[in-house]
């Protein structure tokens, strides 16, 4: 896998102004990809799509920030119309966007929560992933040499209780998107893979650890770039279709591809035997 092996390839990462999305954008940039960076935060601040674009450029790729509210169907459509005009097609699409309710909901009872957290997590985390994938895959099918790779970022919350009922439903649905997209896209060369990162040291998680809301899992914690390098390795793998329809941990793929994060570490993560491992 060469340093610039994704040069000329076009990717979209939803929700990439910060956190895991930023790490994925930079990981793709390290291999020379052109990355469309989407989100609502713009400008020169530390957590904006423009700053992520600069990081992608510095890593060796081309970062293109596009302000997009993933709760607005028309803005999602316009994002992909712009990509069609500028590049004519797409190679990699990553569904990462997820809205954590503000203030965050840590456990408690579903009837005690504001009903709006359903729209935050299922609406943004699941519905927008479906809609964005529709437009993304249409662009992939129009590009003769497209990699046709869709990555869905999920979590162990799809299999066991975490945070809230609405969170688990959103993540469970995301894993079903992976399986069912893979079934429907197999004959057309589409490859769809789901990823479960472990505890990722995003800005939100670091703040929550500092507040005492959650505990640091020092052994298994990962940086956002760890997931980014896994996504880039999948895109760079000519045998990636053997993963079609699978939902895997970031850590096990990092070990398979012999990847480390920017700290030089290779966190082992936690595996769940109930995950989808059968290839479509």
> What are the residue numbers of the active site?
167
Calculate the CA dihedral of residues 170, 23, 28, 71 and round it to 10 degrees. Answer: 40
Helices 19-30 and 49-59, packing angle to 10 deg: 30
- CA–CA distances in Å: residue 141 to residues 175, 182, 190, 238: 23, 14, 9, 18
87-to-9, 70, 76, 127, 220 alpha-carbon distances in Å: 10, 21, 17, 26, 39
> Which contacts qualify for 260-268: CB closer than 8 Å, 24 or more apart?
260/226, 260/229, 261/222, 261/223, 261/225, 261/226, 261/229, 262/223, 262/225, 263/223, 267/198, 267/219, 267/220, 267/221, 267/222, 267/226, 268/219, 268/220
Are residues 14 and 66 in contact, defined by beta-carbon separation less than 8 angstroms?
no
Residues with Cβ within 8 Å of 128's Cβ and at least 6 positions away in sequence, in order, are 14, 70, 71, 76, 95, 97
Rounded Cα–Cα distance for residues 191 and 173 (Å): 18
User: Computed over its alpha carbons, how large is the radius of gyration of the chain?
Assistant: 17
d(CA 146, CA 134): 15
């Amino acid at each position: 896998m060469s340093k610039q092996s994704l040069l000329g390839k076009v990717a979209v990462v939803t929700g990439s102004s910060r956190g895991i999305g930023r790490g994925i954008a930079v990981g793709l940039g390290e291999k020379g990809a052109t990355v469309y960076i989407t989100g609502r935060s713009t400008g020169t601040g530390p957590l904006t799509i423009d700053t992520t674009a600069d990081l992608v450029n510095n890593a060796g790729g081309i970062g293109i920030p596009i302000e997009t509210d993933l709760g607005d169907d028309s803005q999602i459509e316009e994002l992909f119309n712009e990509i069609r005009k500028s590049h004519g097609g797409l190679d990699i699409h990553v569904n990462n966007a997820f809205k954590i309710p503000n203030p965050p909901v840590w456990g408690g009872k579903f009837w005690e929560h504001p009903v709006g957290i359903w729209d935050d997590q299922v609406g943004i985390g699941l519905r927008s992933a479906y809609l964005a994938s529709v437009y993304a895959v249409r662009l992939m099918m129009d590009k003769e040499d497209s990699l046709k790779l869709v990555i869905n970022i999920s979590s162990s919350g799809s299999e066991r209780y975490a945070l809230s009922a609405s969170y688990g439903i959103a993540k469970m649905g995301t894993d079903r998107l992976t399986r069912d997209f893979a079934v429907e896209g197999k004959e057309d060369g589409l490859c769809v893979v789901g990823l479960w990162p472990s505890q990722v040291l995003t800005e939100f998680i670091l703040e929550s650890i500092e507040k005492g809301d959650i505990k640091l899992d020092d052994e298994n914690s990962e940086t956002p770039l760890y997931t980014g390098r896994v996504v880039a390795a999948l895109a760079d793998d000519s045998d990636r279709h053997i993963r079609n329809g699978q939902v895997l941990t970031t850590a096990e793929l990092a070990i398979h591809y012999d990847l480390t994060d920017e700290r030089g570490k290779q966190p082992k993560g936690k595996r769940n035997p109930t995950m989808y491992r059968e290839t479509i």
